[in-house]
């Protein structure tokens, strides 16, 4: 009886160790807080660029803020020069950067270290505050054109 209890205890311990090691290995590393949390006047405009148009998507990824206008046009990247000062918010890039919009243009996709549009991965986190532009497709990436059609509506892709 004593050996049976001992064997059960060892078996349970081994199972717990295996389960925990698998779940710890699969964890996505924490992203450090890089968005200033300073007091400001409610409704205070932190940044405005004349002619910016109608922004329909704002995506925060690894310390960078990506935006785009209607139809995915005018993709931009914003940063904080000093993460302890909200007034240090500035436009970093607005030419030749990929859009991070979904097909409906009002969202984006976050998949682990990648932020993606509906069409392709746009940025991959490679280090703290460092994003690789236009990374290679992950091995399990399925382009929206290759998605199986919805069962009832053969022309609409999910």
Residue 106 DSSP class? S
For the whole model, what pTM was predicted? Answer: 0.62
Please tell me the predicted confidence (pLDDT) of residue 152: 63
Q: How far apart are CA 13 and CA 112, in angstroms?
A: 30
Tokens 């890039």, located at residue: 93
Collapse the DSSP code of 23 into the 3-class scheme (helix H, G, I; strand E, B; otherwise coil) and give the result: helix
Choose among 47, 26, 28, 25: nearest CA to 36. Answer: 47
Q: Residue 119 domain-assigned?
A: yes
Please tell me the predicted confidence (pLDDT) of residue 89: 86
Q: Residue 72 domain-assigned?
A: yes
pLDDT digits (tens, 9 = 90+) for 111-142: 889 998 877 889 999 998 899 999 998 887 77
Please tell me the predicted confidence (pLDDT) of residue 132: 93
Instruction: Give the ranges where the chain is alpha helix by DSSP (H).
Output: 2-25
Q: Determine the structural domain holding residue 107 and report its residue range.
A: 55-137
Are 93 and 78 in contact by the 8 Å Cβ rule? The answer is: no
- Count: domains in the chain: 1
Please tell me the predicted confidence (pLDDT) of residue 20: 58
Q: Residue 84 domain-assigned?
A: yes
Please tell me the predicted confidence (pLDDT) of residue 38: 66
Give the residues of the chain that fall short of pLDDT 50: 157-158
């Amino acid at each position: 009886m004593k050996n049976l209890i001992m064997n059960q205890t060892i078996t349970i311990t081994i199972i717990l160790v295996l389960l925990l090691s698998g779940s710890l290995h699969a964890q996505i590393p924490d992203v450090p807080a890089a968005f200033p949390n300073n007091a400001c006047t409610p409704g205070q405009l932190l940044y405005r660029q004349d002619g910016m148009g109608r922004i329909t998507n704002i995506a925060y990824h690894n310390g960078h803020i990506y935006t785009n206008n209607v139809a995915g046009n005018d993709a931009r990247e914003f940063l904080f020069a000093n993460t302890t000062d909200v007034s240090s918010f500035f436009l970093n890039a607005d030419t030749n950067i990929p859009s991070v919009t979904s097909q409906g243009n009002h969202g984006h996709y976050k998949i682990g270290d990648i932020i993606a549009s509906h069409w392709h991965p746009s940025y991959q986190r490679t280090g703290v505050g460092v994003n690789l532009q236009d990374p290679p497709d992950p091995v399990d990436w399925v382009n929206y054109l290759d998605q199986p059609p919805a069962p009832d509506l053969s022309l609409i892709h999910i």
